[in-house]
Chains A and B, each alone.
Chain A
Amino acid sequence: MFGYVRPLQPELRVRDYDAYHAAYCGLCRALAKRYGFRSRFLVNYDMTFLFLVRASVRPAARTRNCFCPARFWRKKPCICDDGGYDRVSACTVILCYCKILDNIRDSGFWKGLGYRLLKLVYHRPWKKASKDAPEFADLVRAKLLALSELEAAQSPSLDATADAFAAIVSACADDLPDEAVRRPAQALLYQVGRHIYLCDALDDLAEDLRADGYNPLRYRFVPTQTGLQAEDLAYLGRLMDSSVNLAGAALSLLPVRQYGALLENIVYLGLPAVYTAVKTGRFRAKAKEFPRKENQP
């Protein structure tokens, strides 16, 4: 359920593109620093967005050239904002560990073996992250339990299921002390969480129809064998657009000091672009055929 929140690159300014890279690499570095080398593998776009939201209201942090294990012959610029990354890295570890647990539950014995191994690998980082953000770990556990109950009951409510996930994403901003920052950040992350959940549901729909798995779209609408009917898809598109607008309205209220244009790009351009790709089935295909060298800075 990661990777749906990203900027639309052709519309990014070069400095915003560099800032995004530096934030991504900074998260990777912060994960390694706090939770060990293995946690570097958990870095993802969605959590980079979370960092950008939190960092946007803070004074600009130093960017340094840091060692990158993926490209050890060349240092890469990283944002070194330990205070900003603390909560984000804890949330990343907790969410990824819960995702592993979820995959173990959903997989058969043989396919689940890999996830069981991953669970062993990430158990210690998860324990440490749970100590760092205990209230977030409890909330994630409670909301995922509520979500699995809704799934077991085959709930046709898009909102109730999306709410469970959106509340988790929104809780990543619960610790912000200033209400003028916390409320818009929570509202923004809530709508982004909804967007992620609904995109993921649409992305998985064909597979769930084949495997007879739970998908809220399957019970809310009347899908054909390949996916949703055109009018249902149009309605879902309007729901997604409205979520984007509410997220944008929340972003306007965030007292940003930096990364404003980057965040606007992600919300107004990146989210709709990813939804369009998911809708047309190009999202997964693009991920595989992504040209590896072309986009390097």
Chain B
Amino acid sequence: MAVDKEMNVLIVDDYKTMLRIIGNLLKQLGFGNVDEATDGGMAIEMIKQKKYGLIISDWNMEPMSGLDLLKHVRGNNDNVPFIMVTAESKTENVIAAKQAGVSNYIVKPFNAETLKQKMTAVLGEF
């Protein structure tokens, strides 16, 4: 089944620069409905208001980390595809994210091709 590029995508990062970078790359990949949140708490509020087809989140945020956001989402039985984009590349981090239910994991710095590959792995070809 073809990926619906009209789906809502939520990107979460406390660095506004990264929000712009990921948002711009998503736009180039054809995803136009992209919302941004600057921390986990804000993301939770947005998830309550709107149905998202994909969440792309940074890990290292305060006060709520990307991992806590992921646990919260999965705790509410929400199986939305969740990609963690982070500089945290230690094995224990990847394991913790996997155990929490992450769909895929991108290590910063990354390029557009890597983002596309991981999105394809999670959503299917587009």
Do they bind each other?
no
Interface residues, chain A, CB within 8 Å of chain B? none
